[in-house]
């Protein structure tokens, strides 16, 4: 039997659409490279999974997020049908945030019109850079002109919240000036920007190149300089740096991502999708073909589950709080213990004893999170 959760009550839902035209050099996500996207097969399997796994679940949605992969590969009609599957089985509130991840080459006037008619009101666009040499090196399937055209099309199509993704910290060998990408981003007038540092994962083309010493990672000082440069430029333009990698104008933060950081229950469907009921985290198998086969045969698509211990909940709560600008409340004893971070200007504490990391501190997030978690673990000894 497919069901592995007795029933979920959640206001947030993530659906994974795995399709991509090509795997980028840095990508270790669960994707399925397809030149022809099997829209009918995917939508049919998703409906089967939902009906079998969630016959008694209640989804009254404040946020709905289509991630990937590249959900925009479903096309205008495919995305509309996907939203219909959700509407047939859940309530989408009138003011719900409905996010679609998209690549520039999929953004056309007709597609945007169909997405908006279906209820999509936030698009996260994978730009990564406006430098053609960098995009080619990354194995992206678009060029800079396609990215510019896509942004214009989304804004002209009255998408209320347009977010673009950028990647910093690329190898020095590439002819890229990070400041140019930031300046071009700001000229469009988008409402949200996500900035991610290039990371090397072992089982990726980039990981293999670095292991063979064919290319070197950006040095730490360059990584830090570009991160702080983004912070300065985007905040000066009126964006709030509300999470390590995310900047939004007032009222344009990602509400769906806030649900994760606040550890609220959320549903998850599709290959590799995660789901959290407040105590246990479940996830589906990652490979698309395996997920489809299991669902069609009436087998569970579960890839595993994790029951969070009090210690794990504490650790996760500290880490997720510190990665946002809301911070974490600390005791007088803890304040004394984190004094070195305060003196180094990596963190601040306000009159309400809320500890928040500065931009420089976010670059050292893991260290402070681990330190504070260790202090609090004493209560479990």
Question: Are 251 and 342 in the same domain?
Answer: no
Sequence-ordered list of residues with C-beta below 8 angstroms from that of 236, at least 6 positions apart, any chain: none
| Residue 179 within a domain | yes
**Cα torsion angle, 137, 131, 126, 197, sign:** positive
278 within some domain = no
Q: Is it the case that residue 184 has pLDDT exceeding 60?
A: yes
**Is residue 297, in this structure, part of any structural domain at all?**
no
pLDDT digits (tens, 9 = 90+) for 339-378: 999 999 999 999 999 999 999 999 999 999 998 998 887 6
Mind listing the pLDDT tens digit for each residue in 15-44?
999 999 999 999 988 899 998 999 999 999
Question: Are 69 and 138 in a shared domain?
Answer: yes
> 158 and 13, same structural domain?
yes
The residue out of 261, 289, 321 marking a domain boundary is: 261
CA distance 333 to 373: 13
- pLDDT for 375 equals 83
Domain, as residue range, for 334: 310-380
The mean pLDDT value for 6-14 works out to 88
CA atoms of 53 and 50, how far apart (whole Å): 5
Average pLDDT over residues 165-177: 94
On whether both 232 and 111 belong to a single domain, the answer is: yes
Q: Does residue 91 lie within any of the structural domains?
A: yes
Identify whether 281 is part of a domain. Answer: no
- pLDDT band of residue 203 (cuts 50, 70, 90) is confident
Q: List the one residue out of 31, 13, 15 whose CA is nearest residue 23.
A: 31
Residue 6: per-residue pLDDT: 58
Q: Are residues 316 and 235 in the same domain?
A: no
* 267 is a domain residue: no
Q: Does the pLDDT of residue 7 top 90, yes or no?
A: no
Same domain? 332 vs 196: no
225 and 134 part of one domain: yes
pTM for the whole structure: 0.95
Domain membership flag for residue 295: no
Residue 2's pLDDT is what? 46
- Per-residue pLDDT averaged across 68-96, rounded? 97
Of all residues in the chain, the percent with pLDDT exceeding 90 is 86
Q: Render 297-311 in DSSP notation, one character per residue.
A: TT---EEEEEEPPHH
The residue among 233, 261, 289 that closes a domain is 261
pLDDT above 90 (res 380): no
Q: What is the CATH number of the domain that holds 194?
A: 3.20.20.70
Q: Is residue 1 over pLDDT 90?
A: no
Helix (H, G, I), strand (E, B) or coil at 108: coil
- Range 176-205 average pLDDT: 95
pLDDT at position 381: 47
pLDDT of residue 29: 87
Kindly state whether residues 326 and 181 are assigned to the same domain: no
CB atoms within 10 A of CB 193: 26
My answer on whether 123 and 210 are in the same domain is: yes
Interatomic CA distance for residues 231 and 101, integer angstroms? 23
Same domain, 74 and 215: yes
Same domain, 26 and 120: yes
Q: Tell which of 261, 296, 318 closes a domain.
A: 261
275 within domain boundaries: no
- Count of the separate structural domains present in the chain: 2
SS3 (DSSP) at 25:
coil
Model pLDDT for residues 265-322, shown as the tens digit of each residue:
999 999 999 999 988 999 999 999 999 999 999 999 999 999 999 888 989 999 999 9
pLDDT in tens, 344-355: 999 999 999 999
Write down the mean pLDDT value for the chain: 94
Is residue 48 domain-shared with residue 184, that is, in the same domain? yes
Q: What integer pLDDT is reported at residue 3 of this predicted model?
A: 45
């Amino acid at each position: 039997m497919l069901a592995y959760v007795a029933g979920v009550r959640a206001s947030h839902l993530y659906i994974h659409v795995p399709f991509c035209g090509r795997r980028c050099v840095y990508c270790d996500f669960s994707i399925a490279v397809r030149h022809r996207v099997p829209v009918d097969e995917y939508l049919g399997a998703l409906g089967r999974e939902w009906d079998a796994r969630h016959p008694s679940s209640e989804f009254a949605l404040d946020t709905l997020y289509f991630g990937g992969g590249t959900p925009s590969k479903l096309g205008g009609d495919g995305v509309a049908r996907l939203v219909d599957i959700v509407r047939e089985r859940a309530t989408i509130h009138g003011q719900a945030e409905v996010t679609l991840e998209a690549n520039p080459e999929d953004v056309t006037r007709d597609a945007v019109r169909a997405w908006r008619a279906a209820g999509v009101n936030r698009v996260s666009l994978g730009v990564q850079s406006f430098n053609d040499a960098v995009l080619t090196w990354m194995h992206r399937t678009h060029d800079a002109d396609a990215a510019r055209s896509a942004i214009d099309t989304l804004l002209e199509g009255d998408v209320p919240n347009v977010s673009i993704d950028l990647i910093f910290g690329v190898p020095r060998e590439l002819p890229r000036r990070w400041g140019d990408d930031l300046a071009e981003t700001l000229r469009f007038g988008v409402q949200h920007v996500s900035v991610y540092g290039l990371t090397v994962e072992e089982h990726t083309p980039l990981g293999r190149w670095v292991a063979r010493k064919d290319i070197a990672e950006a040095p730490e000082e360059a990584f830090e300089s570009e991160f702080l440069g983004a912070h300065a430029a985007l905040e000066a333009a009126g964006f709030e740096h509300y999470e390590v990698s995310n900047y939004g104008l007032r009222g344009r933060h990602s509400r769906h991502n806030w649900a994760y950081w606040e550890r609220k229950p959320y549903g998850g469907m599709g290959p590799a999708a995660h789901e959290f009921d407040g105590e246990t985290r479940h996830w589906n198998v990652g490979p698309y073909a395996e997920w489809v086969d299991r669902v069609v045969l009436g087998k569970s698509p579960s890839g595993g589950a994790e029951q969070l211990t009090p210690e794990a909940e504490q650790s996760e709560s500290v880490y997720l709080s510190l990665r946002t600008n809301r911070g974490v409340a600390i005791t007088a004893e803890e304040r004394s213990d984190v004094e070195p971070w305060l003196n180094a200007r990596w963190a601040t504490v306000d009159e309400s004893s809320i500890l928040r990391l500065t931009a420089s501190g976010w670059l050292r997030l893991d260290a402070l999170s681990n330190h504070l978690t260790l202090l609090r673990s004493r209560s479990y000894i």
